[in-house]
Amino acid sequence: MVNTIIKTEKLCKTFSSGGIQQHVLKNLDISIEQGDFTIIMGSSGSGKSTLLYAISGMDKPTLGEIDFAGKEISQLNNDQLAIFRRNNCGFVFQQIYLLDNMSVLDNVLASGLLVNKNKRELVSKAKELLIQVGITENSWSKFPTQLSGGEAQRVGIVRAIINSPKVLFADEPTGALNSSSSGSVLDVFTNVNREGQSIILVTHDIKTALRGNRILYLRDGVICGDLKLGAYSESEDANRREKLRTFLSEMGW
Amino acid sequence: MRIRWLMITILLIFSSGIVFSVIVIKNNNISEVDLAAINDVVKTTEKNWGHITEETFNNSNIEQAFAIIDDDLENAIYQTRGYHYINIYDAIKNRDTVLDVKHNDRIAGKIIIRNNEQEMIQQAKSELAITISLIFGLLMLVSIIYITYIYRTLLKPFRKLKIFASNVARGNLDIPLNMDKNNTFGAFTESFDLLREELGAARQREYESNRSKKELVATLSHDIKTPVASIKAVSELLLLEAKDEKLIRQVNTIHSKAEQINLLVTDMFHATLEELQQLKLTVIEESSEVLVNMIQNVNYDHRIDYDPIPQCIILTDPLRMQQVIDNIISNSYKYAGTNVTIQSQINQGYLELHIQDFGPGISEEELPLLFNKYFRGENVGGENGSGLGLYISKYFMENMYGDISCYNRSDGFTVVLKIRLAY
Amino acid sequence: MNIINLAMANIRKNKSASVSLFIFILVAALLLNIGLMVITQINSFFDNKVEQLSDPHVSIMMDKASYHADYEAFLANYSRITNTETEEIIMMGSAKFDFGNSELNNSIIIFNAGNSRMMGPLKLIEKLNTSGANDIYIPYSFKTSGNYRLGDSFTIHYQNKDYEYRIAGFLETTMMGTNNVGVMKFMLPDTPYQALADKLDEQSDAMILSAVMEDKTQSTKLLNDFTKEFPQSVVGETTSYILGLDIEMVKSVNTLTVNIVATILVAFAAIIVLVSLIVIKFRVSNSIEDGMANIGALKALGYTSLQIVSSIILQFILIALSASMAGIALSYGLMPFIGGVVSALNGLVWEQSFDITINIVSILVVVLSVVIVTLLSAFRVRKILPVVALRGGIRTHSFRKNHFPLEKATGGLHFLLAIKSMLANAKQNTMILLIMIALTFASVFSMVLYYNIASDKTAFVNMFGSEPANVFIDVKPEADTREFLREIKQMDHVKKVNIFDLITTKVDGQTVYTNVTDRYDDLENNVVYEGRQPTHENEISISWVVSNQINKEIGDTVEVEYGAETKRYLVTGVSQSIGNLGQIAALTMDGIQQLQSDYQGSTLYVYLNDIKNKDFIKNLKEQYGDNIVETLDIDENIESQTGMYTAAVFAIMVMVLTITVLIVVMILYLVIKTMIIKRKKEFGVMKAIGYSTIQLMSQISISFLPVITAGVAIGGVLGYFFTNPMLSALLSSAGVKRLDFTIHLPTILILCVSIVILAYIVSLLVSRRIKYISAYGLITE
């Protein structure tokens, strides 16, 4: 029995520039299942990131409703959204956006302390997670600028999951990384997902997309393809790759 | 929210206008007599008694008019402009100020300072009038600005919405609804525009599905004709061979029914084509310059050389004309594969375009059949086509009151388009 | 606690920005605190001193001949009198002594220090340990502005005799401690007192009646009632006199100049605080914009707007608090200097008390202003969605316009790019415009003050009501003044000569110093600020002090008493004067002759051309020595009378100007640097496209100049037109009714041009840094 964690109804997002409207998301009805590693793909400008931010409460849809873990979030105000985010969402960005005036550990704690008031427990959890993603103790007091891109992104992931969010959102997490760093980052995602963490990840990189078990393809603000890949396992890599290729070429990738 | 602030502002402006008016009216009391100035006049007069002239009072800053009279109260020794002394009683009647002038310790004359209360009241009135009209003018200005604001933020967007709605109602779905800065109608603006886009997309889809259905019919009917033609041919052969009366009758029936099918299918094909809007024309008068564009549109790789086209007004349907030119040029590319030269001239009420290629041309026997429906030459080779192009081109040209013809040259093949000049 | 961490982290991150903000707030708090302390304490300062020194609230001096026991009885029976005292003193009607660099002519009363008294006992600030036979105690103002030190010799010239003393101590007194009250109080130990009393004639024997009241403010009324009760016959002869002083009057005269200085200081402080606030606003909104991505990240983590805004505010509160505390601490370091100025102005020792209320108020004002400014800037954080913040402020609906599209606009490329960046940064440019306006206004303001007080003192001196002639001649009564005037007029180097007497008359029963001259048009300093000077024999002008005392205005008539005669005069003007207790009236020669028909005047004011005053006086004495009682170098006298003011105000002005220059340079550097750093990325991209450093530098300068020039121009115009009205409005509460400072246009123009040039140079210097940074570095940084 799977639970739906996010369900959108006629979700629209319109931007305007100089008065000209541009409907980036058009009447989307999407459901995301709990525990899934959902990948959102699409050509650039198709509205992938917009969709990600709209359903995660980072942005407000212009029309439509979002049911997130049983809560209607499209009508919440900014502060309610902030509180909602800190309890339910974790974010990983392409540009990483670690707070550059704080150390690695402080970055994680700045997020954790918002929810968990038990500092000692939190610190030990943070350290544990950091070690899990391969950030060793001697890096904990470094500043983000002193880290490599891959390390920084892994810290970013720890920061995102420190509060055990219902869903982890990632926007092109490997977009700014070289292939070896992105491999280590992706492994972290896979591991986290195996532990039951729901993930929604936007990418246009096939290698990243392979990690997901469901691919949504977005074109012109409409979902036009939905592929169930099944859970990631390295043994079936070639098989999955072929399946994904076929799907993408059908979609006109 | 914004409206509330506006209301407060307006309220503020109006109440300050009222307060200001009241203050102005209250403060506009008549000023006191300027004693210092009067004293100055009296003293100056006394000092200069006996030789008072215009210059004596040059330095005086008295505002009121006055007169200096001698002690018999009859003659004015001096009077300023704006004062005409008649007699002392007249002055008293006017409540003028009368002061003694002493000279050598005796009263030598009098100074009469005009009571200008009336003037001052008049002045006060006009000042009041000016102030009040200023205030009202200001209020008017504010109102106008407010109304303009309302117009810009509410009425104008609303009108835009109306125009948009009527455009949509008319089926004109290409005109977007622009968002205005205040976004007065919020979700409406967005929803309507979304609606327009979706409507357009739906219409496009419907159109496309209809079209593909019709195309299917057209192709099918075309395809049916081949077997039917075979039936006809076989039945004709049978007819020649058959001796049995009954058989002949039956074969005749087959033949005539096959012919009937052929005609029906042809009709259906025609009807479908027309429905597909491929055969409708709207002939208008156009400058011959449009031809240049048309040629240029198909001038891939600059393989067309053409002379300047004579300036004239022609009768044409630009869309169809383009199709004709497309067809001829693409045939040329397809079958000749050489460069194309276009010569043009005006000849007997027609603009003639001679489109020449330098390929093999076609055999003389086939030449008359070229414009027949579904005719395809011997040398088509592997090129695909329906054999409809030139047939339709002829149909178009004739319906544009022109003609199309062709001939072989020694070094190639020429198609002549005769386009009717407007007159 | 988390918010504190955030705030601290932010401060650490933007160290240089925090430091500059710290300095601005420090200066603002410093000036505000000084201004507030001076203005609040100056009022009670005088009152406290009166209390502390047990000075009398009313002093009435008269020659012994005029003394009557009824006087004392009247005082003793007057309602709400706490104490009265009568003492014998020596009084010198017109004594001369050196004061500062010049000679001063003033009345002196001398107490016997050996006698004990309840009111105004001898309170020495400094004294010699040894005593001598000719010791004298003189007021503290002799030290602060008279250039005397302990042990110096002090000579009084009285009735053509010199009396030499040694300064054995400086005494502190509120009542007669300075030379602008008309009387100064000295004290002699018993031996020299007796010696002096023996030497002097009877006329110098005098009595002083002193009284202390429950309510000081009633002192003026008491003195009025006294003069009503015992009307004196003020005849022209100086043998008999009664002179009254009340503490309210003295206070208003004494605190007037201090108030002027304090008001100027506060006004300046207010302007600087304002400028600082604008700069603070600028810095705050910049730092918020710079930290936009951080704010976005925080929002993504689930920080509420309130938490983010409060971390920003906390960051600035921390800076504001520490800076304003430091500023206030520093202000205590600076207060002795201000105190010195105050002492110079009223001859009283300024004791700086620690005023916690004022300090808290100053801190509160500064911190609150910073908080409000920060709130205003930080408010937009509330409305921003995290995505928008992460994208650096690009909103869902954008109405940005591409001004001057390069494809269509005509004009040089660099010019167009400069214009584009100017328009694109419209908000920031508005800020810079505001800063430049405020800055230029402050500069012009302090420049005008400096010019008028330090460079061309005419306007400032005129404020005191003195007539800027060169030489004063006291003509012997028996000489024919008019004939003498004609003769002097014939002398070389004499531009003009006026009869300009100062006599005492009674106007509506009030003793008033009254000027007499033929034609007031011939005088150089028109002290009337409303109406006009008298031109006819039945006209009079009075000072606003008198006008208030007798409650008469222009157009009213007043009764003037001189000698035995009384006559009514019409008030034609209200004047202003700081000297002579501000009680001044003016009559024409014809006017005074109504009261005394043979009045011919005894004082001549000579205006000279191309000759030293001393030389002229020498010539005059040689030629007409018989006709002259006394001559006075007016320039020198004015110098000595106003010297203490100008010296004090000069010190303030130097401070003001220094601070202004410092702040101007600092703000220019800061603003331009911030702006360039802010657009670093943009410049990096342009460099990458292939623009050269020189091109970028000129582009930066071009894009700055219009805003800066416009700001300077507007500020300059505002300063030009509003410095005087603003000062008048401010100083009118201090008692200055008429202020007409020279606004020297060339100076202002030079000032404005130099600010623009300075800005240009600073922008060039700052933009030179671009040269050393590669395009890559600029982009990645």
CATH of the domain at A148: 3.40.50.300
Residue of C10, C397, C401 lying closest to A16 (CB–CB) = C397
Q: Measured between CA atoms, how close is C518 to chain B, in angstroms?
A: 15
In sequence order, what are the beta bridge partners of C164?
A: C155
For tokens 């106007």, name the residue.
Answer: C507
What does the block give as tokens for B125? 């009135």
For tokens 């009542």, name the residue.
Answer: C175
Query: What distance in Å separates the CA atoms of residue C652 and residue C639, rounded to the nearest whole number?
Result: 18
For position C235, what pLDDT does the model report?
Answer: 41
Backbone angles phi and psi of C151, in degrees to 5: 90, -15
Residues 6+ apart with CB under 8 A from B384: none
By residue count, chain A amounts to 253
**Total structural domains within chain A:** 1
Beta strands in B312-402 (DSSP E): 313-316, 340-347, 350-357
Transcribe C86-133 into DSSP letters: EEEEEEEEEEEEEETTEEEEEEEEEEETTS--SSS---EEEE-SS--T
For position C234, what pLDDT does the model report?
Answer: 45
Average pLDDT for C14-32: 82
Give residue A38's domain range: 4-251
Q: Which of A26-40, C102-116, C226-240 has the lowest mean pLDDT?
A: C226-240
Query: What distance in Å separates the CA atoms of residue C88 and residue A127, rounded to the nearest whole number?
Result: 93
Which residues of A fall within a CB distance of 8 Å from C9?
99, 101-102, 106
For position C461, what pLDDT does the model report?
Answer: 73
C2 and A114 in contact by Cβ < 8 A? yes
Q: Which of B330-334, C234-238, C595-599 has the lowest mean pLDDT?
A: C234-238
Per-residue pLDDT of chain A in tens (253 residues, 90 and over written 9):
568 999 999 999 888 887 788 888 988 999 999 999 999 998 888 888 889 988 988 888 888 899 998 889 988 888 888 888 888 899 898 888 888 778 888 888 888 888 888 888 989 999 999 998 888 888 888 888 888 888 999 999 999 999 889 999 999 898 888 888 888 899 999 999 999 999 999 998 888 999 999 999 998 888 988 998 888 888 878 888 888 888 988 887 7
Q: Measured between CA atoms, how close is A118 to chain C, in angstroms?
A: 13
Best CA proximity match to C91, nearest among C113, C106, C115, C107: C107
pLDDT digits (tens, 9 = 90+) for C737-758: 767 788 888 988 998 998 888 8
Task: Find, in chain A, the residue whose alpha carbon is nearest to that of B198.
Answer: A26
Query: What distance in Å separates the CA atoms of residue C335 and residue C339, rounded to the nearest whole number?
Result: 6
Cβ atoms of C206 and C109 closer than 8 Å: yes
Task: Find, in chain A, the residue whose alpha carbon is nearest to that of C398.
Answer: A17
For position C238, what pLDDT does the model report?
Answer: 45
Rounded to 5°, the CA angle B158-B163-B168 comes to 120
pLDDT digits (tens, 9 = 90+) for B288-300: 888 888 888 777 6
Mean pLDDT of chain B: 81
ipTM of the complex: 0.81
Query: What distance in Å separates the CA atoms of residue B324 and residue B330, rounded to the nearest whole number?
Result: 10
Cα of C692 vs its chain's centroid, Å: 52
For position A130, what pLDDT does the model report?
Answer: 92
Average pLDDT for C436-456: 81
Query: What distance in Å separates the CA atoms of residue C537 and residue C591, rounded to the nearest whole number?
Result: 4
Q: Is the pLDDT of residue B373 over 70?
A: no
B367 exposure class (CB count in 10 Å sphere: 0-12, 13-18, 19+): middle
Query: What distance in Å separates the CA atoms of residue C346 and residue C255, rounded to the nearest whole number?
Result: 7
A86 and C390 in contact by Cβ < 8 A? no
Residue of B179, B194, B198 lying closest to A16 (CB–CB) = B179
Q: Is the pLDDT of residue C10 over 90?
A: no
Best CA proximity match to A45, nearest among A216, A207, A219: A219
CA distances from C211 to B178, B327, B334, C49, C115 (A): 86, 125, 129, 16, 17
For position B380, what pLDDT does the model report?
Answer: 64
Query: What distance in Å separates the CA atoms of residue C213 and residue C82, rounded to the nearest whole number?
Result: 5
pLDDT digits (tens, 9 = 90+) for C690-722: 677 777 777 777 777 888 899 999 999 999 988
Residue of C399, C537, C555 lying closest to B36 (CB–CB) = C555
Q: Are strands A89-92 and C528-531 parallel, antiparallel or unpaired?
A: unpaired
Query: What distance in Å separates the CA atoms of residue B342 and residue C361, rounded to the nearest whole number?
Result: 94
Which residues of C fall within a CB distance of 8 Å from B32?
555
For position C124, what pLDDT does the model report?
Answer: 83
Cβ atoms of C281 and C431 closer than 8 Å: yes
Q: Measured between CA atoms, how close is A18 to chain B, in angstroms?
A: 8
pLDDT digits (tens, 9 = 90+) for C76-92: 888 888 888 888 888 88
What does the block give as tokens for B275? 């429905």
Which residues of A fall within a CB distance of 8 Å from B194?
12, 14, 23, 26-27, 63
Interface test with C, best of B1, B32, B34, B35 (most C CBs within 10 A): B35
For position C579, what pLDDT does the model report?
Answer: 66
More confident residue, C658 or A137: A137
Cβ atoms of C381 and C305 closer than 8 Å: yes
More confident residue, B356 or C44: B356
pLDDT digits (tens, 9 = 90+) for C460-483: 777 777 788 888 888 887 888 888
Residue of A85, A101, A110 lying closest to C12 (CB–CB) = A101
Task: Find, in chain C, the residue whose alpha carbon is nearest to that of B36.
Answer: C572
Cβ atoms of C104 and C96 closer than 8 Å: yes
Q: Is the pLDDT of residue C236 over 70?
A: no
Run of H or E residues at C59: strand C58-63
- DSSP-assigned letter for residue B154: I
C532 and B35 in contact by Cβ < 8 A? no
What does the block give as tokens for C413? 């490329």
Run of H or E residues at A247: helix A237-251
More confident residue, B403 or B86: B403
Backbone angles phi and psi of C741, in degrees to 5: -70, 140
For position B272, what pLDDT does the model report?
Answer: 76
Q: Is the pLDDT of residue C727 over 60?
A: yes
Average pLDDT for B194-220: 84
Q: Is the pLDDT of residue C545 over 90?
A: no
For position C779, what pLDDT does the model report?
Answer: 47
Cβ atoms of C62 and C243 closer than 8 Å: yes
For position B248, what pLDDT does the model report?
Answer: 87
Interface test with A, best of C301, C381, C399 (most A CBs within 10 A): C301
Residue of C301, C385, C387 lying closest to A110 (CB–CB) = C301
Rounded percentage of chain B residues whose pLDDT exceeds 90: 0
What does the block give as tokens for C61? 């001096």
For position C512, what pLDDT does the model report?
Answer: 84
pLDDT digits (tens, 9 = 90+) for B49-73: 877 777 777 777 777 778 888 877 7
In chain B, where are the structural domains located?
A: 1-30+116-171, 46-115, 188-276, 284-420
**Which range in B250-264, B360-374, C399-413 is most confidently predicted, on average pLDDT?**
B250-264
Best CA proximity match to C57, nearest among C101, C121, C119: C119
Sign of CA dihedral A203, A209, A211, A215: positive
pLDDT digits (tens, 9 = 90+) for B4-55: 887 888 788 888 888 888 887 777 666 667 788 888 888 888 888 877 777 7
For position C21, what pLDDT does the model report?
Answer: 81
Query: What distance in Å separates the CA atoms of residue B401 and residue C590, rounded to the nearest whole number?
Result: 118
The CATH code belonging to domain B284-420 is: 3.30.565.10
**What b/e string do you get for A157-171 counting C-beta neighbours within 10 Å, with b at 16 or more?**
bbbbbbbebbbbbbb
Beta strands in C130-286 (DSSP E): 135-139, 153-158, 161-171, 183-188, 205-213, 242-246
Q: Is the pLDDT of residue C23 over 90?
A: no
B194 and A27 in contact by Cβ < 8 A? yes
The CATH code belonging to domain B188-276 is: 1.10.287
Q: Measured between CA atoms, how close is A249 to chain C, in angstroms?
A: 31
How many beta-carbon contacts under 8 Å exist across B and C? Answer: 32
How many of the other CB atoms lie within 10 Å of CB of C163? 22
Query: What distance in Å separates the CA atoms of residue B6 and residue C715, rounded to the nearest whole number?
Result: 32
Q: Is the pLDDT of residue B268 over 60?
A: yes
C555 and B44 in contact by Cβ < 8 A? no
For position A199, what pLDDT does the model report?
Answer: 94
Q: Is the pLDDT of residue B336 over 70?
A: yes
Residues 6+ apart with CB under 8 A from C627: C475, C476, C479, C484
Best CA proximity match to B35, nearest among B58, B70, B61, B73: B61
Transcribe B240-271 into DSSP letters: HH---HHHHHHHHHHHHHHHHHHHHHHHHHHH
C538 and B39 in contact by Cβ < 8 A? yes
pLDDT digits (tens, 9 = 90+) for C140-177: 888 887 788 888 888 888 888 888 899 988 888 888 88
C536 and B43 in contact by Cβ < 8 A? yes
Q: What is the pTM of this model?
A: 0.66
For position C322, what pLDDT does the model report?
Answer: 92
For tokens 């030139």, name the residue.
Answer: B390
For position B278, what pLDDT does the model report?
Answer: 63
CA distances from B266 to B263, B272, B273, B384 (A): 5, 10, 10, 21
